[in-house]
């Protein structure tokens, strides 16, 4: 596990808070005035139709793209956009499992686990044996890849969709992240693999961390999340605490939203 750094420990109310975040891609207003705060041990489900802005929002939170306007606070401290990047988000212990392929196809597993965060000796050389050993331990003991013919030297291209998500999730576990963001991690998975991802989300909660979980399967997020945030055409249109809506009510709400053709302000 990585050492605790001063700015990542201590007392804080929100692991991340966004204020008035807007982002346009040319004429497309992907995000419009997003206000959002995630508590330090909160599991927040982010839902909404394709194109609603879910992936764009998490890309802003994790330093992949810079918004057109708005503010970001991490552990209650303002972020300077000019110094915010994926690397900085990693350093602040945010880990993201992206919807798009985020692993190097031809690279062995151990390289993928440590990409961007190599273990080096004092001369700057990568400690290959140590990375390989940790990768094998992660595969066998944490991810349950036992006896399926996969080890630290297997290449990513040999893995199924679920196994790839497992690697990305294993990375988040190893680096002891405080905020883990999953962008539709179950979309291409078999049912048995979906269960593993859901168990992992539960373990994030149990270990005191926070999670933003983007999921198209409403039953899954409804069952797991402390709070659900609904995005519609770049705006937050509902913020629903666990227990406030049944799954049926939630489903109806989203269908009505789709049919209304335009966003209605709720909550
Ligand atoms: N790199 C990009 N360039 C141009 N438009 C984009 C880009 N990424 C996303 N968009 C557009 O922004 C909107 C929100 O997309 P996205 O955040 O991917 O939605 P979601 O993840 O909710 O399906 C969509 O209209 C999408 O086409
Ligand atoms: Mg998306």
pLDDT in tens, 7-22: 676 789 999 999 999 9
CA of 78 to the centre of ligand 1 (A): 26
Question: Looking at ligand 1, which atom is closest to the CA of residue 50?
Answer: 23
- Our answer on whether the CB atom of 48 is closer than 6 Å to any ligand 1 atom is yes
> What are the helix (H) ranges across 65-118?
86-91, 109-114
CA distance 180 to 61: 11
pLDDT for residue 146 is more than 60: yes
- Our answer on whether the CB atom of 235 is closer than 6 Å to any ligand 1 atom is no
CA distance 101 to 203: 24
Nearest residue to 219 via CA among 72, 102, 45, 103:
45
pLDDT at 63: 95
Report the interhelical angle of 191-206 vs 161-174 (nearest 10°).
10
CA of 84 to the centre of ligand 1 (A): 21
CA of 266 to the centre of ligand 2 (A): 22
CATH for the stretch 12-102+179-260: 3.40.50.300
Q: Do the beta carbons of residue 163 and residue 192 sit within 8 Å?
A: no
Considering every ligand atom shown, identify the ligand nearest to the alpha carbon of residue 32 and give its number.
1
- Our answer on whether the CB atom of 125 is closer than 6 Å to any ligand 1 atom is no
* Listed range (39-48, 153-162, 213-222) with the worst mean pLDDT: 153-162
- Our answer on whether the CB atom of 30 is closer than 6 Å to any ligand 1 atom is yes
The full set of domain ranges for the chain reads 12-102+179-260
Ligand 1 pocket test: pick from 23, 25, 66 the residue with the most ligand atoms within 8 Å of its Cβ. 25
Across the range 233-251, mean pLDDT stands at: 96
Q: Whose CA is nearest to atom 1 of ligand 1?
A: 25
pLDDT digits (tens, 9 = 90+) for 69-104: 999 999 999 999 999 999 899 899 998 887 666 667
pLDDT at 1: 46
Question: Looking at ligand 1, which atom is closest to the CA of residue 231?
Answer: 22
- Our answer on whether the CB atom of 27 is closer than 6 Å to any ligand 1 atom is no
CA of 189 to the centre of ligand 2 (A): 16
- Our answer on whether the CB atom of 51 is closer than 6 Å to any ligand 1 atom is yes
pLDDT at 7: 65
CA of 123 to the centre of ligand 2 (A): 41
Round to the nearest angstrom and report the end-to-end CA distance of the chain: 40
Nearest residue to 13 via CA among 46, 38, 30:
38
């Amino acid at each position: 596990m990585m050492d605790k750094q001063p700015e990542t420990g201590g007392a804080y109310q929100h692991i991340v808070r966004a204020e008035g975040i807007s982002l346009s891609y040319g004429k497309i207003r992907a995000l419009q005035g997003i206000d959002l705060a995630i508590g330090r041990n909160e599991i927040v489900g982010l839902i909404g139709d394709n194109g609603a802005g879910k992936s764009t929002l998490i890309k802003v939170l994790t330093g992949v793209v810079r918004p057109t306007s708005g503010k970001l606070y991490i552990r209650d401290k303002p972020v300077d956009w000019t110094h915010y990047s994926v690397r900085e988000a990693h350093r602040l212990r945010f880990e993201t499992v992206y919807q798009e392929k985020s692993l190097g196809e031809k690279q062995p597993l151990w390289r993928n686990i440590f990409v961007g965060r190599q273990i080096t000796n004092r001369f700057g050389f990568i400690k290959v044996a140590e990375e390989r050993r940790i990768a094998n331990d992660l595969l066998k003991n944490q991810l349950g890849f036992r006896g399926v013919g996969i080890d630290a030297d297997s290449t990513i291209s040999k893995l199924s969709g679920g196994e790839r998500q497992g690697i990305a999730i294993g990375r988040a576990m190893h680096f002891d992240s405080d905020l883990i963001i999953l962008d539709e991690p179950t979309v291409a998975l078999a049912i048995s693999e979906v269960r593993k991802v859901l168990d992992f989300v539960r373990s994030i909660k149990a270990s005191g961390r926070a999670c933003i979980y983007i999921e198209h399967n409403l039953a899954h997020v409804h069952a797991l999340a402390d709070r659900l945030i609904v995005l519609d055409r770049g705006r937050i249109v509902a913020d629903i605490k666990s227990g406030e809506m049944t799954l049926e009510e939630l489903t109806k709400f989203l269908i009505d939203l789709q049919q209304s053709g335009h966003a209605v302000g709720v909550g």
